[in-house]
């Protein structure tokens, strides 16, 4: 028993592409069979049918029309699948037997080229990783849609790899087929990235120029793996790819995976989008490529002072030219995506409308250039001088392409009159021929006396003269030859009309063929300008980002920071830029932050909801803004240059990895402690709250001491363990600050102001009252608090003996030595928590249940709506028990 020849051909091709949906071209449809058909019909919500498979009987089949295929491809790729496009590669009329078919392209998340699947203001990076015998990772990545390519190498550390892939937001990663499955699973879970495989580490000689900047073997292999994968999957010209640019990780501020998430630099924790992020705040770019460069700058803040100050100079200069900057923004709005247009030209999928966009963009460049060069600032003049208007290409496109061409390439109407003499002749014959037909229609009406006589055309019968039945008696039989009979009319042809039809149809056929040929030639001519277009795109992108910084800095009342030569930080009236934009400038409470060599650690206390986390975040965001070259939200700001930013802010279980809140806390804290340097910034928020009180307090104290003794990084450490404030007596670099609050009529009012010294109380019960918990419950909590305060025992001890060895990462309870424990055992103290207070009735079972539930709530990890719903459930339960 055997399948039909066509199904055998399908199966042979499918065998080579087991990891992809095979779109098999049959006439006007792309068909899928067997398992592909079953899955695709569900994912795409299209009809599943069946087809005769030969002796094997009916087989599952579904299909999509070729003219609408891109939408289906985008949907499948968006769901994490690959698509192999299989086309006829020979003329069916010339084929001997089965028409030859081949896969002409494999489309995946990292190789998208069409607009529908791409975010215009984000790069779409495809990355390749090589693990070298020298215990190093080689990383190469490219954006196929723009041609950008970069490479680096670093120690073979899986977390560093994840951080770097997270920084570039890679959509697809190419690994060796024998890569450790644990690493692959880690990449999938943390980055939600598509994994592909390629084992070749040498690429074609034609790609030699793309590897010219590789500096060692591991980089060379990574770029080779990337290019091999592109050759295998794209099977076309990749001349728009730029030589891989080597970069060093230590030339940029490092912001690890956790910190990027916690600080919401480019992605919101809540909505997983841009809204409410630093990128959202800063993005006043006018071009798609400017938007992508802005994200690149935020992903990699600079640490080279001269480079930062060069950007600052340009931003400051643009702020002084208000009206010129508005003109600049308007001109930039008219510039389309030069990078991706160049990519489409090289890739061969550009259409005439794309070339019109390219022409319109180039027409804006002289005005932008003149505007920048007219300014007196030398830096802005230099930016203008970098702009090459590519005049020859603009002139070519102005001469060749009409203003409003169709999308389809084979329907004509793309090329201007006067561009090609032969085409003009054909088009003149077509237009004059149609004018002649109109004149003939008038002439025949007069000759026959038939007023409703008309000349028409269809694809089957060509041109004809149509006469209704009521006028057939007036038809001149000597000249008219019957061609077609209709129910209420007859159609005729004349020798004269036949000849004109031949001329017109021949002109149309030749015109369409010539116009398509001219367009292909034009596309090839544009390819020669890809390199200057890419250079121009980078210059325009930089100008766009700088004007965006200037616009935001002006509207948000930012100021230019200066950089300290001795690691001092002095921020006056600093603000959280995103929170301030949401609340409004007048509503936000600004705060200072002073940290110098004798003041390295700030221990921040204060009640929940008072703004401790916001204050810590704003310090990090001010540092990041400064080092990308933007002005910062403060009245004054003197800052050190930070090499790394580490955060542990907020608490949430990592459900996918099966890790608890406390484990996530410890992993993030360990990452900071092990990798921070004296030039780093560390933000720790409520470390230790995920475990028992005394365990958490012991760990928090030990971490503070270790950072003070061994790391020396500037550190902001917020806590609810008020006992830790005593550390300022023994640690010379630690200072207490607190967020102020006042009590009015038994209610707490948060002032959100940072002041020196420790907080005098936590106001936790007041916060519970603000949440409208039952009065009886609040009163009971107050009694318990009084009891605990009466029996309070100080557990904070003198700092542990200094050690230069690294802090142990296991057996964490050893950080509190046995002789340092309070005389009463932890178990006894914890059991006494619910000891009945004097003259107070024992809590009922219902009250104990509510108290237990309240203790289990982690309000800082909850959204306002989640907290409200939890409290509503408790309140409803209490009412039900009354």
Does 723 fall in a domain? Answer: yes
Question: Is 606 marked within a binding site?
Answer: yes
Does 261 fall in a domain? Answer: no
CATH number at residue 161: 3.30.420.110
Q: Is the per-residue pLDDT at 858 higher than 70?
A: no
Residue 851 shares a structural domain with residue 812: no
What does the pLDDT average to over 676-697? 84
Give the span between the Cα atoms of 211 and 243, in whole angstroms: 6
Q: Is the per-residue pLDDT at 496 higher than 90?
A: no
CATH number at residue 358: 1.10.1420.10
CATH number at residue 55: 3.40.1170.10
Question: Is 60 marked within a binding site?
Answer: no
The predicted pLDDT at position 832 comes to: 39
Beta-carbon neighbour count of residue 469 at 10 Å? Answer: 12
What does the pLDDT average to over 674-694? 85
Residue 91 shares a structural domain with residue 173: no
Residue 63 shares a structural domain with residue 198: no
Helix (H), strand (E), coil (C) string for 816-881: CCHHHCCCCCHHHHHHHHHCCCCCCCCCCHHHHHHHHHHHHCCHHHCCHHHHHHHHHHHHHHHHHH
Question: Is 612 marked within a binding site?
Answer: yes
* Phi, psi dihedrals of residue 294, rounded to the nearest 5°: -60, -45
Q: Which of 224, 251, 278 is the last residue of a domain?
A: 251
Residue 195 shares a structural domain with residue 174: yes
The predicted pLDDT at position 879 comes to: 67
More confident residue, 811 or 444: 444
The predicted pLDDT at position 720 comes to: 84
Does 834 fall in a domain? Answer: yes
Distances (CA, A) of 129 to 81, 195, 218, 799: 21, 11, 9, 45
The torsion region of residue 244 among left (phi > 0), alpha (psi -120 to 50) and beta comes to beta
Question: Is 517 marked within a binding site?
Answer: no
pLDDT band at 777 (very low <50, low <70, confident <90, very high): confident
Question: Is 609 marked within a binding site?
Answer: yes
β 601-605/714-718 pair status: parallel
Predicted TM-score of the model (pTM): 0.82
Question: Is 610 marked within a binding site?
Answer: yes
Tell me how many domains the chain contains: 6
Residue 588 shares a structural domain with residue 699: yes
Q: Which of 251, 276, 301 is the last residue of a domain?
A: 251
Give the span between the Cα atoms of 476 and 408, in whole angstroms: 43
Give the span between the Cα atoms of 183 and 163, in whole angstroms: 13
**Residue 703 near residue 687, CB atoms below 8 Å:** yes
Does 267 fall in a domain? Answer: no
Residue 320 shares a structural domain with residue 443: no
Residue 301 shares a structural domain with residue 345: yes
Does 402 fall in a domain? Answer: no
Q: Is the per-residue pLDDT at 845 higher than 60?
A: yes
C-alpha triplet 869, 870, 876: angle, nearest 5°: 85
Task: Give me the domain span that covers residue 497.
Answer: 421-512
Does 523 fall in a domain? Answer: no
Distances (CA, A) of 834 to 114, 343, 761, 780: 65, 70, 21, 11
The predicted pLDDT at position 1 comes to: 52
Nearest CA to 564 among 630, 493, 638, 649? Answer: 638
Give the span between the Cα atoms of 552 and 549, in whole angstroms: 5
CATH number at residue 641: 3.40.50.300
- pLDDT, tens digit, for every residue of 227-251? 999 999 999 888 899 999 999 999 9
Nearest CA to 579 among 563, 592, 590? Answer: 590
Does 710 fall in a domain? Answer: yes
Give the span between the Cα atoms of 157 and 135, in whole angstroms: 9
Q: Which residue has the tokens 């959204």?
A: 863
Residue 506 shares a structural domain with residue 581: no
- pLDDT, tens digit, for every residue of 394-433? 999 999 999 999 988 988 999 999 999 999 988 888 777 7
Residue 401, judged by CB atoms within 10 A of its CB (0-12, 13-18, 19+), counts as buried
- pLDDT, tens digit, for every residue of 450-469? 999 999 988 788 899 999 99
Residue 152 shares a structural domain with residue 76: no
The predicted pLDDT at position 261 comes to: 87
Does 17 fall in a domain? Answer: yes
Residue 94 shares a structural domain with residue 235: no
The helix (run of H) or strand (run of E) holding residue 40 is: helix 34-43
β 125-132/49-52 pair status: unpaired
Residue 36 shares a structural domain with residue 130: no
Residue 342 shares a structural domain with residue 456: no
């Amino acid at each position: 028993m055997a399948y039909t020849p066509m199904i055998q051909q399908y199966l042979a091709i499918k065998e080579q592409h087991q990891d992809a949906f095979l779109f098999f071209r049959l006439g006007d449809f792309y068909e899928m069979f067997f398992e592909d058909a079953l899955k695709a019909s569900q994912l795409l919500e299209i009809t599943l049918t069946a087809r005769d498979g030969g002796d094997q009987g009916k087989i599952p089949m579904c299909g999509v029309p070729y003219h609408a295929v891109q939408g289906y491809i985008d949907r499948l790729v968006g769901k994490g699948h690959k698509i192999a496009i299989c086309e006829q590669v020979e003329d069916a009329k010339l084929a001997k037997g089965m028409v030859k078919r081949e896969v002409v392209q494999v489309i995946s998340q990292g190789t998208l080229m069409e607009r529908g699947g791409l975010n215009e203001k984000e790069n779409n990076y495809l990355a390749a990783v090589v693990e070298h015998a020298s215990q190093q990772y080689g990383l190469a990545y490219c954006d196929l849609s723009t041609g950008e390519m970069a490479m680096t190498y670093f120690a073979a550390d899986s977390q560093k790899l994840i951080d770097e892939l997270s920084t570039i937001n890679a959509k697809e990663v190419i690994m060796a087929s024998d890569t450790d499955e644990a690493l692959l699973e880690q990449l999938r879970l943390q980055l939600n990235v598509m994994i592909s495989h390629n084992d070749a580490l040498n690429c074609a000689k034609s790609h030699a120029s793309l590897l010219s900047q590789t500096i060692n073997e591991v980089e060379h292999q990574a770029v080779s793996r990337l290019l091999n994968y592109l050759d295998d999957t794209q099977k076309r010209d990749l001349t728009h790819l730029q030589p891989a640019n080597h970069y060093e990780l230590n030339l940029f501020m490092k912001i690890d995976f956790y910190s990027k998430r916690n600080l919401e630099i480019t992605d919101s924790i809540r909505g997983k989008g841009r809204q409410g992020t630093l990128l959202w705040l800063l993005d006043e770019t006018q071009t798609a490529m400017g938007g992508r460069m802005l994200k690149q700058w935020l992903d990699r803040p600079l640490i080279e002072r001269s480079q930062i100050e060069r950007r600052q100079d340009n931003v400051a200069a643009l702020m002084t030219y208000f009206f010129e900057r508005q003109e600049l923004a308007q001109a930039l709005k008219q510039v389309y995506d030069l990078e991706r247009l160049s990519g489409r030209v090289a890739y061969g999928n550009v259409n005439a409308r794309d070339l019109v966009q390219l022409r319109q963009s180039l027409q804006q460049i002289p005005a932008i250039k003149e505007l920048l060069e007219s300014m007196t600032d030398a830096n802005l003049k230099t930016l203008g001088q970098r702009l090459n208007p590519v005049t020859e290409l603009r002139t070519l496109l102005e001469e060749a392409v009409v203003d409003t061409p169709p999308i389809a390439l084979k329907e004509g109407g793309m090329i201007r009159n006067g561009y090609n003499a032969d085409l003009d002749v054909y088009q003149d014959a077509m237009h004059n021929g149609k004018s002649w037909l109109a004149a003939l229609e008038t002439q025949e009406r007069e000759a026959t006396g038939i007023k409703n006589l008309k000349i028409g055309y269809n694809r089957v019968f060509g041109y004809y003269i149509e006469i209704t039945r009521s006028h057939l008696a007036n038809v001149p039989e000597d000249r008219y030859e019957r061609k077609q009979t209709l129910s209420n009319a007859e159609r005729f042809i004349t020798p004269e009309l036949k000849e004109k039809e031949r001329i017109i149809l021949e002109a149309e056929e030749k015109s369409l063929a010539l116009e398509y040929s001219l367009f292909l030639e034009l596309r090839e001519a544009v390819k020669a300008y890809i390199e200057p277009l890419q250079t121009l795109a980078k210059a325009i992108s930089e100008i766009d980002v700088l004007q965006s910084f200037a616009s935001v800095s002006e509207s948000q009342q930012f100021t230019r920071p200066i950089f300290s030569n001795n690691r001092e930080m002095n921020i006056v009236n600093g603000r959280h830029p995103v929170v301030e934009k949401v609340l409004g400038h007048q509503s936000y409470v600004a705060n200072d932050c002073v940290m110098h060599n004798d003041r390295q650690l700030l221990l921040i206390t204060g009640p929940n909801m008072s703004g401790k986390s916001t204050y810590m975040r704003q310090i990090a965001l001010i540092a990041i803004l400064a080092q990308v070259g933007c002005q910062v939200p403060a009245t004054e700001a003197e800052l050190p240059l930070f090499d790394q930013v580490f955060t542990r802010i907020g608490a949430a279980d990592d459900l996918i990895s099966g890790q608890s809140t406390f484990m996530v806390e410890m992993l993030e804290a360990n990452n900071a402690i092990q990798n921070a340097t004296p030039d780093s910034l560390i933000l720790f928020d409520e470390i230790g709250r995920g475990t028992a009180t005394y365990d958490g307090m012991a760990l928090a104290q030990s971490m503070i001491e270790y950072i003070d003794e061994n790391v020396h990084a500037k550190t902001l450490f917020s806590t609810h363990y008020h006992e830790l404030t005593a550390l300022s007596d023994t640690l010379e670099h630690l200072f207490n600050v607190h967020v102020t609050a006042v009590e009015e009529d038994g209610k707490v009012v948060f002032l959100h102001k940072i002041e020196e010294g420790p907080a005098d109380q936590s106001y936790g019960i007041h916060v519970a009252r603000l949440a409208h918990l039952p009065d009886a419950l609040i009163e009971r909590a107050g009694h318990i608090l009084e009891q605990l305060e009466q029996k309070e025992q100080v557990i904070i001890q003198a700092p542990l003996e200094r050690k230069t060895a690294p802090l142990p990462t296991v057996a964490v309870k050893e950080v509190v030595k046995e002789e340092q424990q309070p005389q009463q055992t932890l178990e006894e103290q914890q059991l006494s928590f619910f000891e009945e207070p004097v003259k107070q009735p024992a809590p009922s079972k219902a009250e104990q249940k509510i108290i237990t539930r309240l203790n289990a709530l982690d309000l800082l990890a909850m959204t306002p709506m989640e907290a409200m719903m939890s409290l509503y459930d408790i309140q409803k339960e209490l009412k039900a028990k009354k």
